[in-house]
Structure 1
Amino acid sequence: MLRLRAVCPPESSKAALDVLQEHVGATHVVLFPGAAIQPAGDVIEADVAREAADEILAVLCSLGIDHTGGITLDVIDTVMSDAADLAERDAPGEAADAVVWEELVSRTGEESRLNATYLAFLIIACLLAAVGVITDSPITIVGAMVVGPEFGPLAAIAVGLVRGRWDLVRRASLALGLGFVVAIAITAGGTWLGWTAGLFDASAIVGDHQVDFVYEVGPWSLIVAVLAGAAGMLSMTSAKSAALVGVFISVTTVPAAGYIAVAAILGEWQKVLDSAGQLTINLLGIVVAASAVLMVRRSRRFANDAVRPLSPG
């Protein structure tokens, strides 16, 4: 279940309480009159079944509470209550299938920001990928896949496209584009230092190697990217985050970026182009699949809303 807290002006409190008291998916409704200081108003709390959260949030936002006050959601790990069990039983749908759209927008929006932490993870991942390419180590390549933070911006682009949030699309695209450019440039610099120090030579990527799959583009590259994008978005929208690890280690976005840097320094330009193609196919495949999953989820939500209309007051 989720803990919902709303700070709202007194004139909106009755309508908000009516929504929470009338919805079968909400319970443990509490009112603290005049408890909020900034912004001033009443504080309302309730425990909400995950499958009912999106519907309730939509009505509370229609009251303008997100503008005149504020609404927050927190995950509750343990609830011991017959009333909570009843709310989860009577709420329409299943918790694992529920999408809390505002939560998704907030989460992907945060993960799509171009900041020092995001760049640090992407740079480290690309450097690991370069080491894996040079040492012909698939294990190191897998490690680079896990460290890479690129799925956050990719998911944000998908959410922005489906929800019409073009600000989110622009911000995530900037994080991806500039992030990969910076990471590849720094990785190329590190590769050049290793090459001039005599740590390796062109034979590192000439001939057959175990990690050649990184730059070998084919139909399976797109198939894997599409499956990974679908699985990743299903994981994010159903709160089953454990599946994201499988997504990270199934696509060759970061390894392809690392290979671009190594191949460029060693003058293997065909492999640079092949790696760039691999990177592009993976990025596009993930975004398309993630967007398709969201569109299916959104259509199901609209169908459910048509059957169960909920209005404030």
Structure 2
Amino acid sequence: MRYLEITVPEGKRRAVLNILEDEGIDYVASDETSGREYTAVVRFPVPTQAVEPLLDRLKRTGVGDEARVVVIDAETVISEGFATLQEQYSYGGQTGARTSRQVLRTKADELTPPFPIYAAMLLISAIVATAGLLADSPAVVIGAMVIAPLLGPALAANIGIVTGDARLKSTGFRYQLVGVGLVVAASIGLAVLARLAGLEPAGVDIVVATELEERVSPNLFSLAVALGAGIAGILSLTRGFSEAIVGVMIAAALIPPSAAVGITVAWGMSGAATGAAALVVVNLLSVNLAALATLWIAGYRPQGLFDVSPTRRPTYTYAAIFGIGLLVLAVPLASVTLLDFHTTELESTTEAEVEDVLTDPRYEEFEIEDIVIELDGNYPVQSVDRVIVTVSSQNAGTEPGLADHLYREISPQTDDPIVVEVQYIVAEERGPTEQGDTANGQETDAQDGPLRVSKARA
């Protein structure tokens, strides 16, 4: 429920009161005596659903921007007339209240802080996210998401598009682009300092950290967070749900990938940086496309019949830009997704092939301990590089020909040139050390004992 107070300009009092009486609204009107070209102040409660159509109708009668309208949340209204009005605007018995277009603009403005505060909060979020990714700490990364004020700009841009508010649209897009740039720049600076300070060994494959790895080689499932965040963000504004939780979702889609870009740039890993940057752009497009589509489907339009057509065209234009960009960038994400499926399938197939090979009497003393599929590290779209099979037995030493045998069985399962590596563990021993032999059966002793390795190559 809402309580409206309208300061009526001179010459519009009768028109305003006629509309309210026609709608069956109980109102209180008092004369305006300040001498500021206003003739009356009208106050009345209305259902939330009635605010937007009522204000649109008032504007069509000439009560436009010169009138002052205040919309206040109302806790309770006790009136038989109001109950009838509420039933009238329940839209088929649904009592859920859609926020009016006018209030929606105000909420978007409130969720978009002044730029100095916005920049400061994003810089803090970037520092925390970078530290969390370098430390491979999910808890710290989540903390960075909580403090990032990204909900307002993400939604303001699309509210501005569908309602024809150019100021709101430009502010929203500007804040989004500048915000992501600030996070990337801050992450580069902090990561460079961390590397120079020796917090991570120079030249280390930094993306082995789980929190980083999933952001530099994203798959199609990464889209789910961003699309869900955009839809939930609009629903939180239009239906009065908690915006704080939705803000964390949007930050989850943008802050960690942006920080990952900065870290991989600082480490000179161009392929990984490209993958993380692609995820940032994909998530930006996804959030905006989902928000724009949800607003349009929810029926938000500029007021007046003649405003719909001009606004429909830019809405479709922006939707096409977001959609085409998303489809183009989804191609490498689809490749990563297919690789994930292939890796899982190859691991399962390899396990079956190894079990079958070990049924041979020559290898009956061996048991499977582990199977690992290693990728080549060429981000963002990798390929299978190595299959590592770990077997155990009671006796030390390698089994000549086992690596070659496994290679012949496993290599047809993938189109990539691979290395099949067999590692041997002595069951009764502790503290693994390494020895090795190559696929041609030539053995070379390593420094220590029980773990031995044999390999077969393409």
- TM-score bracket, normalised by the shorter chain, equals 0.7 to 0.9
Asked if 2 retains the 8 angstrom alpha-carbon contact of 1:99 and 1:297, the reply is: no
Query: Matched residue of 1:41: which SS?
Result: strand
Question: Paired residue for 1:165?
Answer: 165
Whole-angstrom distance in 2 between the partners of 1:161 and 1:301: 9
Superposed CA RMSD in Å reads 2.7
Match status 1:283 vs 2:281: no
Whole-angstrom distance in 2 between the partners of 1:274 and 1:141: 19
Match status 1:235 vs 2:236: yes
Whole-angstrom distance in 1 between the partners of 2:155 and 2:147: 16
Question: Paired residue for 1:73?
Answer: 71
**What CA deviation, in whole Å up to 9, does each residue of 1:157-209 have, x standing for no partner?**
21222223333322211111122222322332233333333334454823242
Letter in structure 2 aligned against 1:163: T
Match status 1:46 vs 2:44: yes
Q: 1:38 to 1:134 in 2, by over 3 A?
A: farther
**What CA deviation, in whole Å up to 9, does each residue of 1:5-58 have, x standing for no partner?**
11112321222122223324x44x111211555564321111111011111111
Whole-angstrom distance in 2 between the partners of 1:253 and 1:37: 52
Whole-angstrom distance in 2 between the partners of 1:102 and 1:178: 27
Count of aligned pairs between the two proteins: 299
Whole-angstrom distance in 2 between the partners of 1:53 and 1:234: 18
Question: Paired residue for 1:245?
Answer: 245
Whole-angstrom distance in 2 between the partners of 1:268 and 1:39: 66
Question: Paired residue for 1:5?
Answer: 5
Letter in structure 2 aligned against 1:118: Y
Asked if 2 retains the 8 angstrom alpha-carbon contact of 1:36 and 1:42, the reply is: no
Letter in structure 1 aligned against 2:129: A
- Looking at both structures, which has the greater relative contact order when contacts are Cα pairs under 8 Å and sequence separation is at least 6? 1
Q: 1:38 to 1:136 in 2, by over 3 A?
A: farther
Whole-angstrom distance in 2 between the partners of 1:300 and 1:126: 36
Question: Paired residue for 1:224?
Answer: 225
Match status 1:209 vs 2:207: no
Following superposition of structure 1 onto structure 2, how do residues 161-200 of structure 1 map, counting pairs within 5 Å?
161-200=161-200
Structure 2 gaps of 5+ residues are: 304-458
Q: Identify which of 19, 30, 40 aligns with 1:32.
A: 30
**What CA deviation, in whole Å up to 9, does each residue of 1:217-252 have, x standing for no partner?**
22112233222211211111111125x514623642
Whole-angstrom distance in 1 between the partners of 2:246 and 2:114: 24
Asked if 2 retains the 8 angstrom alpha-carbon contact of 1:130 and 1:259, the reply is: yes
Query: Matched residue of 1:96: which SS?
Result: coil
The percentage of counterpart residues that share the same residue type is 24
* TM-score normalized with structure 2 length: 0.59
Q: 1:166 to 1:299 in 2, by over 3 A?
A: closer
Following superposition of structure 1 onto structure 2, how do residues 97-112 of structure 1 map, counting pairs within 5 Å?
97-112=97-112
Whole-angstrom distance in 1 between the partners of 2:35 and 2:124: 44
Bigger fraction of residues in helix: 1
Whole-angstrom distance in 2 between the partners of 1:300 and 1:38: 32
Letter in structure 1 aligned against 2:269: E
Asked if 2 retains the 8 angstrom alpha-carbon contact of 1:20 and 1:46, the reply is: no
Whole-angstrom distance in 2 between the partners of 1:58 and 1:223: 36
Asked if 2 retains the 8 angstrom alpha-carbon contact of 1:7 and 1:65, the reply is: no
Q: Max radius of gyration: which structure?
A: 2
Whole-angstrom distance in 1 between the partners of 2:261 and 2:240: 34
Query: Matched residue of 1:145: which SS?
Result: helix
Structure 1 gaps of 5+ residues are: 303-313
Aligned-pair CA distance for 1:299: 7.3
Letter in structure 2 aligned against 1:61: K
* TM-score normalized with structure 1 length: 0.84
Asked if 2 retains the 8 angstrom alpha-carbon contact of 1:119 and 1:183, the reply is: no
